Amino acid sequence: MAASVAGPSTPATTAPTKPKRRPNPNNVIYGNPLPILIETPPRTPYTLGFLPFHRSKIINPECSGIYDPLTRSVWVTGKRDVRVLWERGFFGKGSLSRSEPSWLTRRVQQLNGGEVLTAEEVTARRREQRKHFKASRTAAIQKAAQEAEAAFSASLESPASTFELPLVNAPHNVPRPTFEAAASKASGDGPPKASETKEDKGVNSEDEVEKQLRQQPEPLDEDQVENMEHLQLTLQEAFFLAWGLGCLRVLDTESGQYLSLPSLWALCISSSASPLPSLPPTIDECRRPDNPFLIHYATYHHYRSLGWVVRGGIKFCVDYLLYKRGPVFTHAEFAIVICPEYEDPADAASSPFHFQKEPFTWTWFSTINRVNAQVKKTLILAYVTIPAMSRVTEQDLDSPKSLSTYSVREVVVRRFVPARMRD
């Protein structure tokens, strides 16, 4: 009977472990897509038959805003309301900032002399560096062109046979001056005196540091600086928060009372119909299916209900920009251009509003497409079907229920580049 002999055991090779990624704090700060929160209690199912049920609680932040007739927008001034609306869905824009209301942070850092830069300061510094780079590059190109032209002129004036390189009469084996010698020569200081000892230097430096620390003021806090900035909401954003989510109350400055939903609806329609705040629109102009507020809000509500973060797109010649999670995570993926489309073409002739009714010209269409293609955004034409006036009455437009008569269709446009799309 043969006995099996076990060989020497080899140590098991372990795969190298990847270093753990640091958690992104933005996922915690901006983790909620909407201002309202749904709080689920611990799992204590209430048995009804054989199906477990759970009770969920909806937490409403109940934010407040003030309607401003000059800018036709809603201002949110409360610090807590501003953070809630921005961090939970990216609603609104800072009145003194590019996007996020960060003026107070920049002001405190400026007063304290801090070196931490905000997004606006980083962008301004990058643009200034780019400006200096372009200016220096232009000067270098001009200087090189002048030198080349001067050399070419000199070669034409001199005879063709005299091309000799001048000899430089310089002594050889000359030692280079050291940095210490050059520094001592420039300063003119000799060796330190015997009376100047290291202990005296240390005492003097400590006294100077203490003196500077005493003279330096204490750093300011955000509570000690007056905040001059507010969060500015468009009418579409304000009505979506008030009617769609029920988490915003709008205060009327004239009456000093909060507006009801029908009053806010009428205010949004009338504000969009008048070209100037000082000229109140007529009733016939307001209560039309092609009111600009109705068209833009139907588009805004459509994409918000699909989970997109909708922001203004005037910077890229479009109406809206669509973000997957928000501007702090990624750039916008899609650019939306609203194209109103009348269900009854006869309604377009009697319309008092001036917006894009006719098809785009090829020049304008190519401009929009090129601008968004350069920044890697997909252009989408959102065709909003306007219901016929014979089907929708003026009484129907007195309620937000009339929004159900609108429909949105998307057409994706991509720029054709033959060099990239041959395959």
Provide the annotated active-site residues.
Answer: 323, 331, 377
DSSP one-letter string for 313-328: -GGGTSSEEEESS-TT
Rounded CA separation 343/406 (Å) = 10
Cβ–Cβ < 8 Å for 91, 65: no
Q: Quote the tokens at residue 22.
A: 């640091």
Maximum alpha-carbon separation in the chain: 111
How crowded is residue 189: how many other Cβ atoms within 10 Å of its Cβ? 9
Q: Tell me the DSSP string of 269-307.
A: HHHHH-SSTTSPPPHHHHSSTT-HHHHHHHHHHHHHHTT
**Nearest-angstrom CA–CA distance, 82 and 76:** 6
| Exposed/middle/buried for residue 47 (C-beta within 10 Å: 0-12, 13-18, 19+) | exposed
> Residue 381 CB: number of other CB atoms within 10 A?
17
Beta strand segments in 208-283, E: 231-233, 248-251
**At which residue do the structure tokens 């020569």 appear?**
185
Total residue length of the chain:
423
Could you give the angle at the alpha carbon of 232 between the alpha carbons of 102 and 255, nearest 5°? 135
Which phi and psi (to 5°) does residue 379 adopt?
-85, 130
Residue 185 CA to residue 21 CA, distance in Å, equals 53
Single out the residue of 303, 288, 294, 311 nearest to residue 382, CA to CA. Answer: 303
The pair phi, psi for residue 335, each rounded to 5°, is -120, 130
